[in-house]
Structure 1
Protein backbone atom coordinates (compact mmCIF):
# COMPACT_ATOMS: atom_id res chain seq x y z
CA UNK A 1 0.00 0.00 0.00
CA UNK A 2 1.11 3.55 -0.71
CA UNK A 3 0.73 6.35 1.81
CA UNK A 4 -1.26 8.27 -0.82
CA UNK A 5 -3.82 5.46 -0.99
CA UNK A 6 -4.05 5.30 2.79
CA UNK A 7 -4.63 9.06 2.95
CA UNK A 8 -7.42 8.75 0.38
CA UNK A 9 -9.03 5.90 2.30
CA UNK A 10 -8.84 7.79 5.63
CA UNK A 11 -10.44 10.86 4.08
CA UNK A 12 -13.42 8.82 2.93
CA UNK A 13 -13.61 6.83 6.18
CA UNK A 14 -13.67 9.97 8.31
CA UNK A 15 -16.34 11.74 6.25
CA UNK A 16 -18.27 8.67 5.03
CA UNK A 17 -18.90 10.69 1.90
CA UNK A 18 -16.91 10.31 -1.33
CA UNK A 19 -17.88 13.76 -2.60
CA UNK A 20 -16.81 15.67 0.53
CA UNK A 21 -13.63 13.59 0.81
CA UNK A 22 -12.72 14.30 -2.82
CA UNK A 23 -13.31 18.01 -2.32
CA UNK A 24 -11.09 18.06 0.76
CA UNK A 25 -8.33 16.22 -1.11
CA UNK A 26 -8.61 18.38 -4.23
CA UNK A 27 -9.49 15.35 -6.38
CA UNK A 28 -12.25 14.50 -8.78
CA UNK A 29 -14.71 12.11 -7.14
CA UNK A 30 -14.36 9.42 -9.87
CA UNK A 31 -10.59 9.35 -9.32
CA UNK A 32 -11.04 8.91 -5.57
CA UNK A 33 -13.60 6.14 -6.04
CA UNK A 34 -11.27 4.37 -8.47
CA UNK A 35 -8.37 4.56 -6.01
CA UNK A 36 -10.47 3.07 -3.19
CA UNK A 37 -11.76 0.26 -5.43
CA UNK A 38 -8.18 -0.51 -6.48
CA UNK A 39 -7.15 -0.73 -2.82
CA UNK A 40 -10.05 -3.09 -2.08
CA UNK A 41 -9.08 -5.36 -4.99
CA UNK A 42 -5.48 -5.64 -3.89
CA UNK A 43 -6.42 -6.29 -0.26
CA UNK A 44 -9.20 -8.64 -1.39
CA UNK A 45 -11.68 -7.11 1.08
CA UNK A 46 -14.60 -4.70 0.99
CA UNK A 47 -13.79 -1.55 2.96
CA UNK A 48 -17.08 0.31 2.53
CA UNK A 49 -20.71 -0.70 2.25
CA UNK A 50 -22.11 1.68 -0.35
CA UNK A 51 -25.71 2.44 -1.22
CA UNK A 52 -27.25 5.37 -3.05
CA UNK A 53 -27.95 7.03 0.30
CA UNK A 54 -25.07 6.18 2.59
CA UNK A 55 -21.51 4.96 2.94
CA UNK A 56 -20.49 2.86 5.96
CA UNK A 57 -17.28 1.17 7.01
CA UNK A 58 -17.20 -2.61 7.01
CA UNK A 59 -15.42 -4.43 9.86
CA UNK A 60 -12.37 -4.68 7.60
CA UNK A 61 -12.62 -0.94 6.93
CA UNK A 62 -12.72 -0.15 10.65
CA UNK A 63 -9.51 -2.14 11.17
CA UNK A 64 -7.78 -0.42 8.27
CA UNK A 65 -8.86 3.02 9.52
CA UNK A 66 -7.18 2.41 12.86
CA UNK A 67 -4.03 0.99 11.27
CA UNK A 68 -3.88 3.60 8.50
CA UNK A 69 -3.99 6.46 10.99
CA UNK A 70 -1.06 4.92 12.86
CA UNK A 71 0.88 4.32 9.64
CA UNK A 72 0.36 7.85 8.35
CA UNK A 73 1.33 9.31 11.73
CA UNK A 74 4.48 7.16 11.74
CA UNK A 75 5.45 8.36 8.26
CA UNK A 76 4.86 12.00 9.25
CA UNK A 77 6.89 11.47 12.42
CA UNK A 78 9.78 9.93 10.48
CA UNK A 79 9.87 12.91 8.13
CA UNK A 80 9.69 15.53 10.89
CA UNK A 81 12.31 13.92 13.11
CA UNK A 82 14.68 13.34 10.17
CA UNK A 83 14.36 16.98 9.10
CA UNK A 84 15.03 18.19 12.63
CA UNK A 85 18.07 15.93 12.96
CA UNK A 86 19.40 17.33 9.70
CA UNK A 87 19.32 20.87 11.01
CA UNK A 88 22.13 19.98 13.40
CA UNK A 89 20.66 21.64 16.52
CA UNK A 90 19.29 18.88 18.76
CA UNK A 91 16.42 19.56 21.12
CA UNK A 92 13.43 17.78 22.65
CA UNK A 93 9.89 18.96 21.99
CA UNK A 94 7.82 18.28 25.13
CA UNK A 95 4.03 18.56 24.82
CA UNK A 96 2.08 19.45 27.95
CA UNK A 97 -1.33 20.86 28.77
CA UNK A 98 -1.16 24.22 30.60
CA UNK A 99 -1.37 23.46 34.31
CA UNK A 100 -1.24 19.73 33.60
CA UNK A 101 2.13 18.87 35.13
CA UNK A 102 1.02 18.59 38.80
CA UNK A 103 3.71 21.16 39.58
CA UNK A 104 6.48 18.69 38.75
CA UNK A 105 7.82 20.02 35.46
CA UNK A 106 10.11 22.84 36.73
CA UNK A 107 11.88 20.42 39.09
CA UNK A 108 12.13 17.76 36.38
CA UNK A 109 13.71 20.19 33.92
CA UNK A 110 16.19 21.46 36.52
CA UNK A 111 17.23 17.89 37.34
CA UNK A 112 17.43 17.01 33.65
CA UNK A 113 19.69 19.97 32.80
CA UNK A 114 22.42 18.54 35.02
CA UNK A 115 22.57 15.28 33.01
CA UNK A 116 25.40 15.02 30.43
CA UNK A 117 22.92 13.66 27.86
CA UNK A 118 20.56 16.64 28.20
CA UNK A 119 19.66 18.81 25.22
CA UNK A 120 17.51 21.96 25.18
CA UNK A 121 13.79 21.37 25.75
CA UNK A 122 11.15 23.21 23.74
CA UNK A 123 7.84 23.24 25.59
CA UNK A 124 4.80 22.74 23.36
CA UNK A 125 1.80 23.90 25.37
CA UNK A 126 -1.11 22.17 23.73
CA UNK A 127 -4.84 22.14 24.31
CA UNK A 128 -5.17 19.62 21.48
CA UNK A 129 -4.58 15.88 21.70
CA UNK A 130 -1.00 15.46 22.91
CA UNK A 131 -1.00 11.78 21.91
CA UNK A 132 -1.40 12.86 18.27
CA UNK A 133 1.47 15.34 18.65
CA UNK A 134 3.61 12.49 19.95
CA UNK A 135 2.63 9.95 17.31
CA UNK A 136 3.11 12.23 14.31
CA UNK A 137 6.46 13.66 15.42
CA UNK A 138 5.45 17.17 16.44
CA UNK A 139 6.53 16.20 19.97
CA UNK A 140 9.24 13.84 21.22
CA UNK A 141 7.84 13.40 24.72
CA UNK A 142 4.56 14.37 26.33
CA UNK A 143 2.86 14.61 29.68
CA UNK A 144 -0.31 12.55 29.41
CA UNK A 145 -3.22 11.89 31.75
CA UNK A 146 -4.97 8.56 31.96
CA UNK A 147 -7.73 7.43 31.86
CA UNK A 148 -8.30 10.38 29.49
CA UNK A 149 -5.37 9.94 27.08
CA UNK A 150 -4.75 6.70 25.19
CA UNK A 151 -1.15 5.75 25.99
CA UNK A 152 -1.38 2.42 24.16
CA UNK A 153 1.73 1.62 22.13
CA UNK A 154 3.82 4.24 23.94
CA UNK A 155 6.54 3.86 26.53
CA UNK A 156 5.64 5.62 29.76
CA UNK A 157 6.92 6.60 33.17
CA UNK A 158 4.16 7.07 35.76
CA UNK A 159 4.82 10.19 37.81
CA UNK A 160 1.72 10.48 39.97
CA UNK A 161 -1.57 8.69 40.64
CA UNK A 162 -4.27 10.58 42.50
CA UNK A 163 -7.89 10.06 43.51
CA UNK A 164 -10.37 12.45 41.92
CA UNK A 165 -12.99 14.66 43.48
CA UNK A 166 -16.03 16.42 42.10
CA UNK A 167 -15.80 20.20 41.97
CA UNK A 168 -19.22 21.73 42.64
CA UNK A 169 -20.79 25.13 43.32
CA UNK A 170 -21.82 25.45 46.99
CA UNK A 171 -25.53 25.45 46.13
CA UNK A 172 -25.33 22.22 44.10
CA UNK A 173 -27.62 19.40 45.25
CA UNK A 174 -24.57 17.17 45.95
CA UNK A 175 -22.36 19.78 47.62
CA UNK A 176 -23.23 18.69 51.17
CA UNK A 177 -22.46 15.01 50.59
CA UNK A 178 -19.36 13.59 52.29
CA UNK A 179 -18.55 11.21 49.43
CA UNK A 180 -19.93 10.53 45.96
CA UNK A 181 -20.01 7.70 43.47
CA UNK A 182 -20.01 8.06 39.71
CA UNK A 183 -23.65 7.03 39.66
CA UNK A 184 -24.49 10.15 41.70
CA UNK A 185 -23.19 12.28 38.85
CA UNK A 186 -25.20 10.50 36.16
CA UNK A 187 -27.06 13.06 34.09
CA UNK A 188 -24.83 15.92 35.22
CA UNK A 189 -22.98 17.80 32.45
CA UNK A 190 -19.26 17.30 33.06
CA UNK A 191 -16.50 19.67 31.97
CA UNK A 192 -14.70 18.07 29.02
CA UNK A 193 -11.24 19.14 27.89
CA UNK A 194 -11.04 20.21 24.25
CA UNK A 195 -9.58 17.49 22.07
CA UNK A 196 -11.17 14.61 23.97
CA UNK A 197 -14.13 12.63 22.59
CA UNK A 198 -17.42 14.47 22.79
CA UNK A 199 -19.44 12.73 25.51
CA UNK A 200 -22.01 15.46 25.82
CA UNK A 201 -20.13 17.47 28.43
CA UNK A 202 -19.27 21.17 28.29
CA UNK A 203 -16.03 21.73 26.36
CA UNK A 204 -13.33 23.74 28.14
CA UNK A 205 -9.83 24.73 27.09
CA UNK A 206 -8.30 25.73 30.43
CA UNK A 207 -8.90 25.75 34.16
CA UNK A 208 -10.20 29.30 34.13
CA UNK A 209 -13.05 28.34 31.82
CA UNK A 210 -13.69 25.16 33.81
CA UNK A 211 -14.05 27.22 36.97
CA UNK A 212 -16.42 29.65 35.25
CA UNK A 213 -18.78 26.99 33.92
CA UNK A 214 -18.68 25.13 37.25
CA UNK A 215 -19.38 28.19 39.40
CA UNK A 216 -22.33 29.06 37.12
CA UNK A 217 -23.79 25.59 37.54
CA UNK A 218 -23.36 24.67 33.87
CA UNK A 219 -21.11 21.68 34.61
CA UNK A 220 -19.34 19.73 37.32
CA UNK A 221 -15.69 18.76 37.16
CA UNK A 222 -13.73 15.66 38.18
CA UNK A 223 -10.19 16.69 39.08
CA UNK A 224 -7.12 15.21 40.81
CA UNK A 225 -6.04 16.58 44.17
CA UNK A 226 -2.93 18.37 42.86
CA UNK A 227 -5.13 20.51 40.62
CA UNK A 228 -7.63 21.20 43.40
CA UNK A 229 -4.83 22.28 45.73
CA UNK A 230 -3.81 24.96 43.22
CA UNK A 231 -7.29 26.48 42.92
CA UNK A 232 -8.44 29.61 44.70
CA UNK A 233 -12.19 29.66 44.25
CA UNK A 234 -15.33 29.47 46.33
CA UNK A 235 -16.27 25.95 45.25
CA UNK A 236 -16.75 22.65 47.05
CA UNK A 237 -14.92 19.37 46.44
CA UNK A 238 -16.33 15.97 47.31
CA UNK A 239 -14.33 12.73 46.85
CA UNK A 240 -15.69 10.39 44.15
CA UNK A 241 -14.70 7.06 45.65
CA UNK A 242 -15.14 4.84 42.58
CA UNK A 243 -13.61 7.15 39.95
CA UNK A 244 -10.49 5.77 38.29
CA UNK A 245 -7.37 7.52 39.60
CA UNK A 246 -5.92 10.30 37.49
CA UNK A 247 -2.45 9.20 36.43
CA UNK A 248 0.19 11.60 35.17
CA UNK A 249 2.59 9.93 32.72
CA UNK A 250 5.68 10.97 30.84
CA UNK A 251 5.33 9.23 27.45
CA UNK A 252 7.45 8.78 24.33
CA UNK A 253 7.33 6.58 21.20
CA UNK A 254 7.99 2.90 21.70
CA UNK A 255 11.45 1.72 20.69
CA UNK A 256 13.05 5.16 21.02
CA UNK A 257 16.79 4.95 21.69
CA UNK A 258 17.44 8.61 22.39
CA UNK A 259 19.89 9.24 25.27
CA UNK A 260 18.23 12.62 25.81
CA UNK A 261 14.78 11.06 26.30
CA UNK A 262 16.26 8.41 28.61
CA UNK A 263 17.84 11.19 30.68
CA UNK A 264 14.54 13.10 30.86
CA UNK A 265 12.66 9.97 31.93
CA UNK A 266 15.29 9.31 34.59
CA UNK A 267 15.00 12.88 35.92
CA UNK A 268 11.19 12.62 35.95
CA UNK A 269 11.30 9.31 37.82
CA UNK A 270 13.65 10.71 40.48
CA UNK A 271 11.67 13.92 41.02
CA UNK A 272 8.36 12.06 41.18
CA UNK A 273 9.76 9.63 43.76
CA UNK A 274 11.03 12.50 45.91
CA UNK A 275 7.67 14.27 45.71
CA UNK A 276 5.79 11.12 46.70
CA UNK A 277 7.98 10.82 49.77
CA UNK A 278 7.43 14.45 50.74
CA UNK A 279 3.71 14.67 49.92
CA UNK A 280 1.43 15.43 52.83
CA UNK A 281 -1.06 12.69 53.84
CA UNK A 282 -4.10 12.52 51.61
CA UNK A 283 -7.27 13.94 53.19
CA UNK A 284 -9.40 10.99 54.38
CA UNK A 285 -12.27 9.98 52.12
CA UNK A 286 -15.57 11.22 53.40
CA UNK A 287 -14.47 14.80 54.13
CA UNK A 288 -15.76 17.35 51.67
CA UNK A 289 -13.63 20.46 51.44
CA UNK A 290 -14.26 24.02 50.34
CA UNK A 291 -11.57 25.28 47.98
CA UNK A 292 -10.39 28.84 48.39
CA UNK A 293 -13.43 29.96 50.36
CA UNK A 294 -12.74 32.95 52.55
Structure 2
Protein backbone atom coordinates (compact mmCIF):
# COMPACT_ATOMS: atom_id res chain seq x y z
CA UNK A 1 0.00 0.00 0.00
CA UNK A 2 1.39 3.39 -1.00
CA UNK A 3 1.53 6.42 1.29
CA UNK A 4 -0.41 8.40 -1.33
CA UNK A 5 -3.27 5.86 -1.21
CA UNK A 6 -3.39 6.06 2.57
CA UNK A 7 -3.56 9.85 2.46
CA UNK A 8 -6.40 9.68 -0.03
CA UNK A 9 -8.28 7.13 2.06
CA UNK A 10 -7.83 9.04 5.35
CA UNK A 11 -9.08 12.25 3.73
CA UNK A 12 -12.27 10.57 2.51
CA UNK A 13 -12.73 8.72 5.82
CA UNK A 14 -12.45 11.94 7.80
CA UNK A 15 -14.61 14.05 5.50
CA UNK A 16 -17.08 11.25 4.62
CA UNK A 17 -17.58 13.15 1.39
CA UNK A 18 -15.59 12.58 -1.80
CA UNK A 19 -16.00 16.16 -3.02
CA UNK A 20 -14.71 17.73 0.19
CA UNK A 21 -11.89 15.19 0.40
CA UNK A 22 -10.81 15.97 -3.16
CA UNK A 23 -10.84 19.70 -2.39
CA UNK A 24 -8.79 19.11 0.77
CA UNK A 25 -6.25 17.06 -1.20
CA UNK A 26 -6.12 19.54 -4.07
CA UNK A 27 -7.10 17.00 -6.72
CA UNK A 28 -10.15 16.32 -8.88
CA UNK A 29 -12.84 13.99 -7.57
CA UNK A 30 -12.80 11.33 -10.35
CA UNK A 31 -9.15 10.25 -9.80
CA UNK A 32 -9.78 10.18 -6.03
CA UNK A 33 -12.79 7.88 -6.51
CA UNK A 34 -10.74 5.63 -8.82
CA UNK A 35 -7.88 5.45 -6.30
CA UNK A 36 -10.24 4.40 -3.51
CA UNK A 37 -11.89 1.79 -5.71
CA UNK A 38 -8.48 0.37 -6.67
CA UNK A 39 -7.49 0.24 -3.02
CA UNK A 40 -10.68 -1.65 -2.15
CA UNK A 41 -10.07 -4.16 -4.95
CA UNK A 42 -6.51 -4.74 -3.81
CA UNK A 43 -7.60 -5.28 -0.20
CA UNK A 44 -10.58 -7.38 -1.20
CA UNK A 45 -12.84 -5.39 1.11
CA UNK A 46 -15.24 -2.47 0.85
CA UNK A 47 -13.99 0.48 2.89
CA UNK A 48 -17.05 2.69 2.44
CA UNK A 49 -20.79 2.25 2.13
CA UNK A 50 -21.92 4.71 -0.52
CA UNK A 51 -25.41 5.96 -1.24
CA UNK A 52 -26.61 8.93 -3.24
CA UNK A 53 -26.87 10.86 0.02
CA UNK A 54 -24.10 9.65 2.30
CA UNK A 55 -20.73 7.98 2.67
CA UNK A 56 -20.04 5.88 5.78
CA UNK A 57 -17.16 3.68 6.88
CA UNK A 58 -17.47 -0.10 6.91
CA UNK A 59 -15.88 -2.14 9.69
CA UNK A 60 -12.83 -2.69 7.47
CA UNK A 61 -12.69 1.03 6.77
CA UNK A 62 -12.81 1.87 10.46
CA UNK A 63 -9.85 -0.42 11.12
CA UNK A 64 -7.87 1.03 8.21
CA UNK A 65 -8.59 4.59 9.37
CA UNK A 66 -7.11 3.85 12.80
CA UNK A 67 -4.09 2.02 11.40
CA UNK A 68 -3.67 4.43 8.49
CA UNK A 69 -3.49 7.48 10.72
CA UNK A 70 -0.80 5.77 12.80
CA UNK A 71 1.14 4.82 9.68
CA UNK A 72 1.00 8.33 8.24
CA UNK A 73 2.07 9.78 11.58
CA UNK A 74 5.03 7.39 11.59
CA UNK A 75 6.07 8.44 8.08
CA UNK A 76 5.78 12.13 8.94
CA UNK A 77 7.68 11.56 12.19
CA UNK A 78 10.52 9.85 10.34
CA UNK A 79 10.81 12.80 7.95
CA UNK A 80 10.91 15.43 10.72
CA UNK A 81 13.35 13.50 12.90
CA UNK A 82 15.68 12.79 10.00
CA UNK A 83 15.83 16.50 9.19
CA UNK A 84 16.61 17.38 12.80
CA UNK A 85 19.28 14.67 12.93
CA UNK A 86 20.89 16.20 9.85
CA UNK A 87 20.88 19.64 11.50
CA UNK A 88 22.45 18.17 14.63
CA UNK A 89 25.18 16.51 12.56
CA UNK A 90 25.84 19.86 10.91
CA UNK A 91 26.47 21.46 14.30
CA UNK A 92 22.99 22.87 14.95
CA UNK A 93 21.58 20.52 17.63
CA UNK A 94 18.21 21.31 19.18
CA UNK A 95 15.08 19.60 20.44
CA UNK A 96 11.46 20.70 20.25
CA UNK A 97 9.12 20.55 23.25
CA UNK A 98 5.34 20.97 23.09
CA UNK A 99 3.15 22.11 25.97
CA UNK A 100 -0.38 23.39 26.36
CA UNK A 101 -0.42 27.18 26.39
CA UNK A 102 -1.12 28.50 29.87
CA UNK A 103 -0.59 25.16 31.64
CA UNK A 104 2.39 24.08 33.78
CA UNK A 105 4.14 27.39 33.06
CA UNK A 106 6.08 27.53 36.33
CA UNK A 107 7.09 23.88 36.05
CA UNK A 108 8.26 24.39 32.47
CA UNK A 109 10.27 27.49 33.36
CA UNK A 110 12.03 25.59 36.16
CA UNK A 111 12.73 22.66 33.84
CA UNK A 112 14.19 24.79 31.05
CA UNK A 113 16.33 26.77 33.48
CA UNK A 114 17.67 23.62 35.17
CA UNK A 115 18.35 21.87 31.84
CA UNK A 116 20.16 24.91 30.39
CA UNK A 117 22.61 24.68 33.30
CA UNK A 118 23.46 21.06 32.46
CA UNK A 119 26.76 20.35 30.63
CA UNK A 120 26.10 19.58 26.97
CA UNK A 121 22.60 21.07 26.94
CA UNK A 122 21.20 22.09 23.54
CA UNK A 123 18.62 24.67 22.48
CA UNK A 124 15.05 23.76 23.39
CA UNK A 125 12.41 25.24 21.08
CA UNK A 126 9.01 25.46 22.79
CA UNK A 127 5.74 25.05 20.89
CA UNK A 128 2.67 26.38 22.74
CA UNK A 129 -0.41 24.37 21.83
CA UNK A 130 -4.16 24.38 22.09
CA UNK A 131 -5.95 21.61 24.03
CA UNK A 132 -4.76 18.14 22.97
CA UNK A 133 -2.53 19.46 20.20
CA UNK A 134 0.77 18.57 21.86
CA UNK A 135 -0.06 14.85 21.81
CA UNK A 136 -0.68 14.94 18.04
CA UNK A 137 2.56 16.84 17.40
CA UNK A 138 4.50 14.26 19.40
CA UNK A 139 2.95 11.39 17.45
CA UNK A 140 3.72 12.88 14.04
CA UNK A 141 7.31 13.80 14.96
CA UNK A 142 6.99 17.58 14.78
CA UNK A 143 8.19 17.70 18.39
CA UNK A 144 10.61 15.46 20.31
CA UNK A 145 9.11 15.66 23.79
CA UNK A 146 5.91 17.01 25.31
CA UNK A 147 4.29 17.99 28.59
CA UNK A 148 0.97 16.12 28.76
CA UNK A 149 -1.85 16.06 31.29
CA UNK A 150 -3.62 12.87 32.33
CA UNK A 151 -6.48 11.99 32.12
CA UNK A 152 -7.09 14.53 29.32
CA UNK A 153 -4.21 13.62 26.98
CA UNK A 154 -3.71 10.13 25.59
CA UNK A 155 -0.26 8.85 26.55
CA UNK A 156 -0.65 5.39 24.98
CA UNK A 157 2.45 4.46 23.00
CA UNK A 158 4.71 6.99 24.74
CA UNK A 159 7.27 6.62 27.48
CA UNK A 160 6.36 8.93 30.37
CA UNK A 161 7.51 10.14 33.75
CA UNK A 162 5.16 11.76 36.26
CA UNK A 163 6.10 15.27 37.35
CA UNK A 164 3.17 16.65 39.36
CA UNK A 165 -0.37 15.79 40.47
CA UNK A 166 -2.78 18.59 41.36
CA UNK A 167 -6.41 19.55 41.68
CA UNK A 168 -8.52 21.90 39.58
CA UNK A 169 -10.46 25.13 40.09
CA UNK A 170 -13.10 27.11 38.21
CA UNK A 171 -12.18 30.48 36.73
CA UNK A 172 -15.19 32.81 36.82
CA UNK A 173 -15.93 36.49 36.14
CA UNK A 174 -15.48 38.66 39.23
CA UNK A 175 -18.87 39.37 40.78
CA UNK A 176 -20.63 36.30 39.36
CA UNK A 177 -23.01 34.59 41.79
CA UNK A 178 -20.92 31.37 41.75
CA UNK A 179 -17.92 33.21 43.16
CA UNK A 180 -19.71 33.54 46.52
CA UNK A 181 -19.26 29.79 47.12
CA UNK A 182 -16.25 28.52 49.04
CA UNK A 183 -16.06 25.58 46.65
CA UNK A 184 -17.99 24.13 43.71
CA UNK A 185 -18.88 20.80 42.15
CA UNK A 186 -18.77 19.89 38.46
CA UNK A 187 -22.59 19.81 38.37
CA UNK A 188 -22.62 23.46 39.44
CA UNK A 189 -20.73 24.32 36.24
CA UNK A 190 -22.52 21.97 33.85
CA UNK A 191 -25.32 24.30 32.77
CA UNK A 192 -24.71 27.93 33.64
CA UNK A 193 -26.94 29.81 31.14
CA UNK A 194 -24.97 33.05 31.22
CA UNK A 195 -21.56 31.28 31.09
CA UNK A 196 -21.64 28.66 28.31
CA UNK A 197 -18.50 26.52 27.98
CA UNK A 198 -15.91 27.79 25.48
CA UNK A 199 -15.39 25.96 22.19
CA UNK A 200 -11.89 25.16 20.94
CA UNK A 201 -11.11 24.32 17.30
CA UNK A 202 -10.70 20.67 16.34
CA UNK A 203 -7.72 19.26 14.42
CA UNK A 204 -9.25 20.49 11.16
CA UNK A 205 -9.69 24.03 12.51
CA UNK A 206 -13.49 23.88 12.72
CA UNK A 207 -15.67 24.33 15.81
CA UNK A 208 -18.39 22.07 17.13
CA UNK A 209 -21.79 23.80 17.24
CA UNK A 210 -22.86 25.23 20.58
CA UNK A 211 -23.69 28.41 22.47
CA UNK A 212 -20.21 29.01 23.93
CA UNK A 213 -17.74 31.46 22.38
CA UNK A 214 -15.10 30.25 19.93
CA UNK A 215 -11.61 30.57 21.41
CA UNK A 216 -8.12 30.06 20.04
CA UNK A 217 -5.79 31.00 22.89
CA UNK A 218 -5.51 31.05 26.67
CA UNK A 219 -5.20 34.85 26.66
CA UNK A 220 -8.37 35.21 24.60
CA UNK A 221 -10.22 32.83 26.93
CA UNK A 222 -9.24 34.77 30.06
CA UNK A 223 -10.47 38.01 28.50
CA UNK A 224 -13.80 36.42 27.57
CA UNK A 225 -14.16 35.17 31.15
CA UNK A 226 -13.46 38.65 32.54
CA UNK A 227 -16.18 40.00 30.21
CA UNK A 228 -18.69 37.51 31.63
CA UNK A 229 -18.99 35.44 28.45
CA UNK A 230 -17.73 32.02 29.61
CA UNK A 231 -15.85 30.09 32.30
CA UNK A 232 -13.17 27.42 32.48
CA UNK A 233 -11.78 24.73 34.76
CA UNK A 234 -7.99 24.90 35.14
CA UNK A 235 -5.09 23.36 37.03
CA UNK A 236 -4.20 24.70 40.47
CA UNK A 237 -0.77 25.70 39.15
CA UNK A 238 -2.41 28.20 36.78
CA UNK A 239 -3.57 30.46 39.62
CA UNK A 240 -0.47 32.65 39.36
CA UNK A 241 -1.44 33.65 35.80
CA UNK A 242 -4.92 34.88 36.63
CA UNK A 243 -6.01 38.49 36.12
CA UNK A 244 -7.56 40.66 38.83
CA UNK A 245 -10.94 40.65 37.07
CA UNK A 246 -11.49 36.88 37.42
CA UNK A 247 -11.98 34.68 40.49
CA UNK A 248 -10.76 31.12 41.19
CA UNK A 249 -12.99 28.72 43.13
CA UNK A 250 -11.90 25.11 43.91
CA UNK A 251 -13.88 22.33 42.20
CA UNK A 252 -13.84 19.60 44.83
CA UNK A 253 -14.95 16.67 42.67
CA UNK A 254 -12.88 17.49 39.58
CA UNK A 255 -10.44 14.67 38.78
CA UNK A 256 -6.86 15.14 39.88
CA UNK A 257 -4.59 15.95 36.95
CA UNK A 258 -1.16 14.38 36.61
CA UNK A 259 1.38 16.27 34.53
CA UNK A 260 3.84 14.01 32.73
CA UNK A 261 6.78 14.45 30.42
CA UNK A 262 6.37 12.17 27.38
CA UNK A 263 8.58 11.05 24.51
CA UNK A 264 8.54 8.31 21.81
CA UNK A 265 9.85 5.00 23.18
CA UNK A 266 12.20 4.58 20.21
CA UNK A 267 13.80 8.00 20.69
CA UNK A 268 17.60 7.91 20.61
CA UNK A 269 18.09 11.64 21.09
CA UNK A 270 20.55 12.20 23.92
CA UNK A 271 19.19 15.68 24.65
CA UNK A 272 15.69 14.27 25.23
CA UNK A 273 17.09 11.75 27.73
CA UNK A 274 18.99 14.55 29.48
CA UNK A 275 15.87 16.75 29.62
CA UNK A 276 13.81 13.91 31.11
CA UNK A 277 16.50 13.18 33.69
CA UNK A 278 16.56 16.87 34.64
CA UNK A 279 12.76 16.91 35.01
CA UNK A 280 12.94 14.17 37.64
CA UNK A 281 15.22 16.31 39.82
CA UNK A 282 12.85 19.29 40.07
What is the TM-score when the length of structure 1 is the normalising length? 0.83
**Structure 2 SS opposite 1:238:** strand
User: Structure 1 residue 3 and structure 2 residue 3: aligned?
Assistant: yes
Q: Which residue of 2 aligns with 1:246?
A: 257
1:229/1:86 CA distance change after superposition, 3 Å: closer
- What are the residue-to-residue correspondences of 1:253-268 with 2, within 5 Å? 253-268=264-279
Give the stretch that moved more between structures: 197-206 or 147-156.
197-206
Deviations 1:137-167 (A, max 9, x none): 2111122233332222222222222111111
Please tell me whether the aligned partners of residues 74 and 139 of structure 2 are also in contact (alpha carbons under 8 angstroms): yes
Q: Which residue of 1 aligns with 2:124?
A: 121
| Cα distance in structure 2, aligned partners of 1:268 and 1:242 | 29
| Cα distance in structure 2, aligned partners of 1:232 and 1:23 | 43
Deviation at 1:192, TM superposition (A): 4.5
Q: Which residue of 2 aligns with 1:12?
A: 12
Give the stretch that moved more between structures: 165-174 or 3-12.
165-174
Deviation at 1:7, TM superposition (A): 0.2
Deviation at 1:207, TM superposition (A): 3.2
- What are the residue-to-residue correspondences of 1:104-253 with 2, within 5 Å? 104-127=107-130, 129-188=133-192, 189-195=196-202, 198=208, 200=210, 201-253=212-264
The alignment of Structure 1 onto Structure 2 pairs a total of residues equal to 271
Please tell me whether the aligned partners of residues 127 and 195 of structure 1 are also in contact (alpha carbons under 8 angstroms): no
Deviation at 1:75, TM superposition (A): 0.2
What is the TM-score when the length of structure 2 is the normalising length? 0.86
Question: What residue ranges of structure 1 are gaps of 5+ in the alignment?
Answer: 272-294
**Structure 2 SS opposite 1:219:** coil
Q: Which residue of 2 aligns with 1:22?
A: 22
Give the stretch that moved more between structures: 194-203 or 230-239.
194-203
Please provide the CA RMSD for this pair. 2.3
| Cα distance in structure 2, aligned partners of 1:110 and 1:222 | 28
Q: Which residue of 2 aligns with 1:95?
A: 98
| Cα distance in structure 2, aligned partners of 1:266 and 1:226 | 22
| Cα distance in structure 1, aligned partners of 2:202 and 2:167 | 23
Deviation at 1:62, TM superposition (A): 2.1
**Structure 2 SS opposite 1:96:** strand
Q: Which residue of 2 aligns with 1:290?
A: none
**Structure 2 SS opposite 1:160:** strand
Please tell me whether the aligned partners of residues 98 and 126 of structure 1 are also in contact (alpha carbons under 8 angstroms): yes
Question: What residue ranges of structure 2 are gaps of 5+ in the alignment?
Answer: none
**Structure 2 SS opposite 1:190:** coil
